[in-house]
Amino acid sequence: MRMEIGKVNTFTVESVEKDGYLLKHPDATLKLPKKEATQPLEEGASVDAFVYIVHKKGLQVTMKRPSIAVDRAGFVRVVEKKFGLGVFVDIGLSKDMLVSKDDLPPLKKQWPKENDMLLCELKVSRNQIAARPVQRFRLFDALRAEAPLNEGDTVSAHVVYLADEGLVLFTEMGHEIFVYYKHTRKTYRLGEALSVRITVAKDALRYNGTLLPGKGEIVDDDAARILEYLREEGSMPFTDKSAPEEIFNTFHMSKAAFKRALGRLYKEGYVELEKHQTRLKND
């Protein structure tokens, strides 16, 4: 059988050496360092080992099992970010794997940070091996939840895809949760862990959700956001007559939410409402 990089292959121990073992495969003979062996081996024994590539060192082999492979996806932790290259993720081997900048969002503020979790698989091309986020149409091939969620549940999920209309989140069990941008309040990162409330159960695997708090809490949160803006600027060119797009671009909230929050600030004496602007009221 042909040796496959990024997968587990079967070798025969050709010889036992002081610092490791020589493993024989019809396609290659590779050195297994003792630190990469999970148990002592004897000459002639059959052994399953994972084959990967280390830059400038070529093919490497280990008996340790990585958390992802060419034929197996999973969540992996971001350990380092290098803007010229991408981010490195821990897959359980001595070598961290690169997720290329070409596979990350074009906006740097949407790149994952250290300790964020990416849903990845390994990809081999041109004698290189790297981690790559699972493509959206293949997400359910990577994870499939066994138990459903209920509407009203609040669960932890990671951002796995930044779509045109919203965020695609996945729980580590495999539930897909779509959150429209109108149900968010800021810009999010790929891999970011979020607490999301389930609003619609489409089926046992697919859901809609929101990152906003409950209605009463929304008013408090939105009012605080507007008040913070006014305390920095003194005034704002927004009123209850402003265009929804202008409001959303600045405050990331709907016009209806803006009007409710502005009305609350007015009733509580924080602001003065003028025809073309809103001012912070002087005490």
Q: What is the DSSP string of 3-56?
A: --TTSEEEEEEEEEETTEEEEEETTEEEEEEGGG-SS---TT-EEEEEEEEETT
pLDDT in tens, 135-171: 988 888 888 888 999 998 999 999 999 999 999 999 9
pLDDT at residue 182 is higher than 90: no
pLDDT at 136: 86
Class of CATH domain 145-210: mainly beta
Q: What distance in Å separates the CA atoms of residue 270 and residue 235, rounded to the nearest whole number?
A: 12
pLDDT at residue 234 is higher than 90: no
pLDDT at 280: 86
CATH number belonging to domain 74-137: 2.40.50.140
* Whether 177 contacts 198, CB under 8 Å: yes
CATH number belonging to domain 8-62: 2.40.50.140
The mean per-residue pLDDT over the stretch 29-34 comes to 96
Task: Locate CATH 2.40.50.140 in the chain.
Answer: 8-62, 74-137, 145-210
pLDDT in tens, 54-93: 888 899 999 999 999 998 999 999 999 998 999 999 999 9
The mean per-residue pLDDT over the stretch 97-110 comes to 95
* Whether 67 contacts 89, CB under 8 Å: no
Percent of the chain with pLDDT over 70: 97
pLDDT at 219: 59
Question: Angle at the Cα of 155 (from 154 to 157), degrees rounded to 5?
Answer: 140
pLDDT at 278: 92
